[in-house]
Amino acid sequence: MYTHVIFDLDGTLLNTIDDLADAGNHVCQAHGWPAHTVDEFKYMVGNGIPKLVERFAPEGLSADELAGALAEFSAYYNDHKEDKTAPYPGIPELLAALKDAGVHMAVLSNKAHALAGPVVEGYFPGIFDAVQGALPDAPLKPDPTLLHALMAKLGAKTETTLFVGDSDVDVLTGKNGGLTVCGVLWGFRDRDELENAGADHVIERPAQLLPLIQK
For 186-213, write each residue's pLDDT tens digit: 999 999 999 999 999 999 999 999 999 9
Cα–Cα dist 115/120, whole Å: 9
Summarize the confidence of residues 87-101 as an average pLDDT.
97
Cβ atoms of 169 and 146 within 8 Å: the answer is no
pLDDT of residue 70: 97
Question: What is the tens place of the pLDDT at every residue in 142-199?
Answer: 999 999 999 999 999 999 999 999 999 999 999 999 999 999 999 999 999 999 999 9
Summarize the confidence of residues 110-135 as an average pLDDT.
95
Length of the chain: 215
> pTM, whole model, 2 decimals?
0.95
pLDDT of residue 176: 98
Confidence check: pLDDT of 214 > 90: no
Write the CB contacts of 185 (distance below 8 Å, at least 6 apart in sequence): 166, 191, 194, 202, 203, 204
Cα–Cα dist 108/27, whole Å: 27
8 is a catalytic site residue: yes
Query: What sign does the dihedral 164-167-173-174 (CA atoms) show?
Result: positive
Label residue 89 left, alpha or beta by phi (over 0 means left) and psi (-120 to 50 means alpha): beta
The alpha carbon torsion through 79, 91, 46, 183 (nearest 10 deg) reads 180
The active-site residue, picked from 8, 19, 168, 170, is: 8
Spell out the domains of the chain, with CATH numbers in brackets. 4-15+85-214 (3.40.50.1000), 17-80 (1.10.150)
What element of type H or E holds 190?
none
Cβ atoms of 188 and 42 within 8 Å: the answer is yes
Summarize the confidence of residues 70-81 as an average pLDDT.
95
DSSP helix/strand/coil, 193: helix
Cβ atoms of 141 and 173 within 8 Å: the answer is yes
Cα–Cα dist 183/189, whole Å: 9
Cβ atoms of 213 and 95 within 8 Å: the answer is no
